[in-house]
A and B are shown apart, each in its own frame.
Chain A
Amino acid sequence: MSEEGAAAPAAPRWQVLGFVLLTAMGGYAVAVSLRLGLWRQGSPGEGLFPFITAVTMMTFSLIGLVGALRAVPRPEATGAELRDAPLRIGVYVAGLVFYAAALDALGFIVSTIVAVVFILRCAERYSWLTAFALAAGTAAGCQVLFVSWLGAILPTGFLWDALFY
């Protein structure tokens, strides 16, 4: 199930870190499953199924970890675009987190405009005007499609309600 347009693979040290994290998650799930109990009054308990899956997950994470430790180091990408990649990813993630956090407080339209302008301006280097026009158009289009046509309930922003009503 390989994917078209897949990401450039991370360096082996990041792969090692990833498998360590997955192993740790498996270990935590094993501990929680044991606490929940594997067997209860002659029948399977709440922890039995998570325990089996967590042990399987840990086993295959460890196999992946061994593979990553044995992997031959690849030359790391040095292009200007890839050097900027962490910054762009950071801007996108920050924009998304802000969007989710501000949705209830600022409402759908304002939080959409702020998040999209931030991403287009800081990650994609669009001019303020273009970024604002694209963001406003997206917010207005979605408001019409989802709220007016499909009757979806989107937040109007409790902050505005508190300030103006």
Chain B
Amino acid sequence: MDLLHSIAVGFATALTIKNVIYCFVGTFVGTVIGVLPGLGPVATISLLLPFSFTMDVTSAVILMAGIFYGAQYGGSITAILVRIPGEASSVVTCLDGYAMARKGRAGAALGIAAFGSFIAGVAVTIALFLVGPAMSGFALAFGPAEYTALVLLGLLLVTQLSSGSQSKALLMVSFGLLLSTVGRDPIYGTERFTFGIFSLFDGLNMALLAMGLFGVSELLIMAEGGAANAEPIAQPRTLRELLPNADDWRRSALPILRGTVLGFFLGLLPGGGATLSSFSSYVLERRVAKEPMRFGHGAIEGVAGPESANNAAAQSSFVPLLSLGIPANAVMAVILGALLVQGITPGPTLIASRPELFFGVIASMLVGNLMLIVLNVPLISIFVQLLRVPGSILAPLIIVFCVVGAYTLSNSAAEVIIMIGFGIAGYLMRKIELDPAPLVLAFVLGNILETNFRQSLLVGKGTLSLFYTRPIAASLLACSAVLIAMQVIKAFSAPRRKGG
């Protein structure tokens, strides 16, 4: 099937009235659930699963895909305005997005998040038409040793995020990895660090960790000075201030491009997905920035790159699912379930046997991204009005949103207590100048790292041979070694320079 025929088949499927409506409903619901912490796309798509069985399979996947990438944008709204990441992939958006909001630039941050997501979405859709089927093989080149090496490199890079002490960042990374081991062992199923508490048997929930460490701790910081006396957040006064200006676009162009490319490739990897992409993009932007110290204080590049990356990854993660039958993340696993129930087994033959499904879903992403931008950009001025709400009114709203978000994860008050525990821990960490963001990333990657590290040892018959005999793994580990060497040289040369 040639390219033009693929595009024709895709758009003929995506542009039927029925599929356009499903796409709109998906992106709208996705944006709403992205805004609300806790109620993520996995839960929403799972709730929709029984209804999907009676729907046409292509329409069902278009609806679910819309929810998924709609949630990526929705998650950034609360991250920018109130520092509560609606989704795990929006955690890094909190850092510079919230700082921009405090400086009266919430509109620009929301605008660049929307436009960046749109540009990335369109670029990835085109890329998927061109190279999607061929790129599916890329995921197969990654075995356990490659994943271990990739995650290790990612964790080392994340310590570069910290503008403070790197040893404190490494402390937070190791703490995050340790927290990821709470629950059942991924291979033997033995309980670890559960203290007999039933809620901990399945491990700690990422949403609880993020809401506690970012949302509740922010509330306590607010309370420290009195929420009623909280410094008012600067408001945009004109329409021009509500949207990104020429300088914002100049600064954001390359981060959007880099975020799109990075998100596209990381989205193809099982376990990669939107969260890893947004963190990696933030690290990359900080590394290449001429003034890295601006990051964390309202650098628009810190919003543009990650937001483009998470949307790009959300879309490209459909390739391994549809062409190999490998779900890249929990959302894809649920969609895989929906496909299997309808009697469709995704795999290499799917593109040839059901082209309307593969290319129809890809074409619907272009339609969905267009809907997202039409839906969200006019709403920016309304979202920004949220900043006018006084701290004393915002505080109870944050409390209730976080509590409801935590409770609805498994309809249990124990989850709320865990979230509050993390909130208090996050507040104390920030008091002793420990940044919780590296902890959250390490937590997300911990399970992937442990499983792949142990599988590598198993395949290597108890030795580390896989790490130096496989070229991709060896190259990634060499990059990590270079990074460590650079840090050691920097650490030793700094006191000498100071000494003159």
Residues in chain A within 8 A of chain B (CB atoms): 1-10, 14-15, 18-19, 22, 25-26, 29, 32, 36, 40, 42-50, 53-54, 56-57, 60-61, 63-64, 67-68, 81-82, 84-85, 88-89, 91-93, 95-97, 99-101, 103-104, 108, 112, 115-116, 119-120, 123-126, 134-135, 138-139, 142, 146, 150-155
Given contacts A84-B226, A93-B424, A150-B39, contact A5 B181 (CB under 8 A): no
A153 touching B95 by the CB < 8 A rule? no
A18 touching B437 by the CB < 8 A rule? no
B423 in the interface, Cβ–Cβ < 8 Å? yes
B209 in the interface, Cβ–Cβ < 8 Å? no
Extra A-B contacts (12), CB below 8 Å, given A1-B163, A10-B431, A119-B399: A3-B95, A4-B296, A19-B432, A29-B193, A32-B192, A36-B192, A43-B457, A49-B453, A85-B224, A138-B397, A153-B408, A153-B411
Per a CB cutoff under 8 Å, which of A18, A112, A152 touches B432? Answer: A18
Cross-chain pairs A/B with CB under 8 angstroms, 6 sampled: A2-B163, A6-B221, A63-B167, A92-B219, A146-B36, A154-B408
Q: How far is B449's CA from A134's CA once the two chains are assembled, in angstroms?
A: 46
Per a CB cutoff under 8 Å, which of A1, A48, A95, A155 touches B437? Answer: A1
Contacts of A68 in B (CB 8 A): 432
Contacts of B223 in A (CB 8 A): 85, 88-89, 91-92, 123
A146 touching B427 by the CB < 8 A rule? no
Contacts of A45 in B (CB 8 A): 188
Contacts of A154 in B (CB 8 A): 404, 407-408
Q: How far is B400's CA from A146's CA once the two chains are assembled, in angstroms?
A: 11
Residues in chain B within 8 A of chain A (CB atoms): 32-33, 36, 39, 47, 95, 98-99, 102, 161-165, 167-171, 174-175, 177-178, 181, 185, 187-188, 190, 192-193, 216, 218-221, 223-229, 295-298, 392-393, 395-397, 399-401, 403-404, 407-408, 411, 413, 416-417, 420, 423-424, 427-435, 437-438, 446, 449-450, 453-454, 457-458, 461-462
B400 touching A1 by the CB < 8 A rule? no
B450 touching A3 by the CB < 8 A rule? no
A81 touching B432 by the CB < 8 A rule? no
A1 touching B192 by the CB < 8 A rule? no
Number of residue pairs A-B, CB distance < 8 angstroms: 225
Contacts of B428 in A (CB 8 A): 18
Given contacts A46-B188, A81-B229, contact A88 B224 (CB under 8 A): yes
Per a CB cutoff under 8 Å, which of B175, B411, B416, B430 touches A6? Answer: B430
B408 touching A7 by the CB < 8 A rule? no
Contacts of A32 in B (CB 8 A): 192-193
B399 touching A60 by the CB < 8 A rule? no
B10 to chain A, nearest CB (A): 32
Per a CB cutoff under 8 Å, which of B161, B296, B420, B458 touches A43? Answer: B458
A124 touching B181 by the CB < 8 A rule? no
B457 touching A125 by the CB < 8 A rule? no
Contacts of B399 in A (CB 8 A): 95-96, 99, 115-116, 119
B239 to chain A, nearest CB (A): 25
B167 to chain A, nearest CB (A): 5
Q: How far is B241's CA from A129's CA once the two chains are assembled, in angstroms?
A: 38
Q: How far is B399's CA from A38's CA once the two chains are assembled, in angstroms?
A: 42
A46 touching B171 by the CB < 8 A rule? no
Contacts of B446 in A (CB 8 A): 53
Q: How far is B229's CA from A82's CA once the two chains are assembled, in angstroms?
A: 12
Q: How far is B397's CA from A116's CA once the two chains are assembled, in angstroms?
A: 9
A57 touching B171 by the CB < 8 A rule? yes
Given contacts A4-B297, A85-B225, A92-B223, contact A9 B413 (CB under 8 A): no
Closest Cβ neighbor of B221 among chain A residues: A7
Closest Cβ neighbor of A86 among chain B residues: B224
B431 touching A14 by the CB < 8 A rule? yes
Given contacts A1-B95, A8-B224, contact A22 B177 (CB under 8 A): no
Contacts of A134 in B (CB 8 A): 392-393, 396
A93 touching B220 by the CB < 8 A rule? yes
Contacts of B416 in A (CB 8 A): 99-100, 103
Q: Could you say which of B95, B298, B400 has the most chain A C-beta atoms within 10 Å of its C-beta? A: B400
Contacts of A97 in B (CB 8 A): 417, 420
Given contacts A10-B432, A124-B392, A154-B404, contact A96 B164 (CB under 8 A): no
A61 to chain B, nearest CB (A): 6
Q: How far is B424's CA from A18's CA once the two chains are assembled, in angstroms?
A: 13
Contacts of B181 in A (CB 8 A): 49-50, 53
Closest Cβ neighbor of B160 among chain A residues: A1
Q: Could you say which of A26, A45, A53 has the most chain B C-beta atoms within 10 Å of its C-beta? A: A53
